[in-house]
Chains A and B, each alone.
Chain A
Amino acid sequence: AQSVAQPEDQVNVAEGNPLTVKCTYSVSGNPYLFWYVQYPNRGLQFLLKYITGDNLVKGSYGFEAEFNKSQTSFHLKKPSALVSDSALYFCAVRVPNFGNEKLTFGTGTRLTIIP
Chain B
Amino acid sequence: ETGVTQTPRHLVMGMTNKKSLKCEQHLGHNAMYWYKQSAKKPLELMFVYSLEERVENNSVPSRFSPECPNSSHLFLHLHTLQPEDSALYLCASSQSTNTGELFFGEGSRLTVL
Interface residues of A (CB under 8 A from B): 4, 9, 32, 34, 41-46, 49, 90, 92, 94, 96, 101-108
Contact of B40 with A44 in the complex, beta carbons under 8 Å: no
Contact of A43 with B42 in the complex, beta carbons under 8 Å: no
Q: Is B75 an interface residue (CB 8 A)?
A: no
Please classify the interface of chain B as helix (H, G, I), strand (E, B), loop, or mixed, using the class held by over half of its residues: loop
Distance of A3 from chain B, by nearest CB (Å): 9
Beyond A43-B107, A96-B98, A107-B42, 4 additional contacts (C-beta under 8 Å) are A34-B101, A42-B107, A102-B56, A103-B102
Interface residues of B (CB under 8 A from A): 2, 4, 6, 40-43, 45, 56, 90, 92, 97-98, 100-107
Q: How many angstroms between the C-alpha atoms of A90 and B100 in the bound complex?
A: 13
